[in-house]
Amino acid sequence: MKIISKLTIVACASVFALSGCKKTDSNAVDLTSDGSINGTLVGNTILGRPLNISFNFSNLEPGFQYSNTVQSDTIYNRNNLGVVIEKIPMLDFYINLMQSNFISNMDIYFTVNPKNNKPVLSSIEFDFSYSKPLTGDSVLNYSVNNSDLRQLSGGGFDSTSVSITNYVYNASTGKVSGSFTFYLSDADNNNVQHKATLSGTFSTIVYKKTSY
C-alpha cells in the first residue's frame, strides 16, 4: 500500500487550534493533545562528519481536522480454488506529526494483524523531512521515505531494514504507541547521502475512520 498523501486527509471545517479541534462526529475521539514522535537520526553528513540529531514532532498539521487515523480494512484469504477461507479485520494506522515551526515532519503508516497484534512488516511506510540551521548560512535538509530503506540483495526489505515494536492500541481511548527503527541506505534526495539510522517512539490519539 502507498502512504496516503496528507492532502487526502479530511479537511477541518473550521480553523484548527493546536490545543484541539471541536468535532461534530459522535464517533470521534477528542484530541486533548496532539501526541508526539520523538527520535534520533544517526549517520554522517555529505562531508563524512558524524551526525546525531534529536527531533520531536508534537503538532498536527494545521488545516486538517484529523491527521492521525485508524481504519478497519478486512482482508480475505482465499485457497487455490478462489474460495474465501478466512477474513481478517486488519487495522490501518496513519500518523502525521510536525514540529511547531511546521517545517519538519514525519508520517508513519502501518497495518496491524489483530490475530497476533503485530504490525505487518511489508505494510510499513514512512516519510521523514527535517530542516535545521547550521553554522553560518548553511542548512541541513534531510528528506527520506521507505524507498530509501536498506534493500535486500534481491530487492525489498525485511526486519533488518525496518521494524515497529512495542505496539499498543487502545480502541476505547484511541491512543496508539510504539517504537520504530528504519535503517537507511545512501539517499540522493538530501545532503547527507550516507547510510543512517532513524529511530524513536510515537504516541498519539487516532480518529476512527470507516474509509479514506
Whether the predicted pLDDT of 6 surpasses 50: no
Look at residue 62 in the predicted model and tell me its pLDDT: 67
Q: Chain-wide mean pLDDT for the chain?
A: 74
Q: What is the pLDDT of residue 149?
A: 82
56 domain residue, yes or no = yes
Report residue 138's pLDDT band, with 50, 70 and 90 as the boundaries: confident
In a domain, 151, yes or no: yes
Q: 24 lies in a domain?
A: no
Which is more confident, 46 or 175? 175
Evaluate if residue 8 carries a pLDDT over 50. Answer: no
Range from 40-44, 72-76, 207-211 carrying the lowest mean pLDDT: 207-211
Rounded CA gap, 23 and 13, in Å?
9
Residue-number span of the structural domain to which 105 is assigned: 6-19+29-209
If one compares 16 and 65, the residue with the highest pLDDT of the two is 65
**Segment of 23-27, 32-36, 47-51, 92-96 carrying the highest mean pLDDT:** 92-96
CA distance 180 to 198: 8
More confident: 199 or 115: 199
Indicate whether 1 belongs to any domain.
Answer: no
Q: Which residue in 28, 101, 32, 102 sits closest to 66, CA to CA?
A: 28
Total number of domains constituting the chain: 1
pLDDT-wise least confident of 25-39, 89-103, 139-153, 177-191: 25-39
Q: Is the pLDDT of residue 5 over 50?
A: no
Question: Could you tell me if residue 127 is inside a domain?
Answer: yes
- HSE of 88 in the Cβ direction (CA atoms, 13 Å)? 14
Does residue 170 belong to any structural domain of this protein?
Answer: yes
For 3-40, b/e burial (b = at least 16 CB within 10 A) is: bbebeebeebeeebeeeebebeeeebbebeebbbbebe
Query: Does any domain span residue 205?
Result: yes
Most confident listed range (57-61, 68-72, 75-79): 68-72
Is residue 141 in a domain?
yes
Report the percentage of the chain scoring pLDDT > 90.
Answer: 25
Each residue of 158-192: pLDDT tens digit? 778 899 999 999 988 889 999 999 988 765 444 45
Q: Which residue has the higher pLDDT, 76 or 34?
A: 76
Please answer whether residues 31 and 22 qualify as being in contact, where contact means their C-beta atoms are separated by less than 8 angstroms. no
pLDDT tens digit sequence for 76-119: 777 777 676 677 788 999 999 988 777 899 999 999 988 899 99
| Distance in angstroms (rounded) separating the CA atoms of residues 9 and 212 | 7
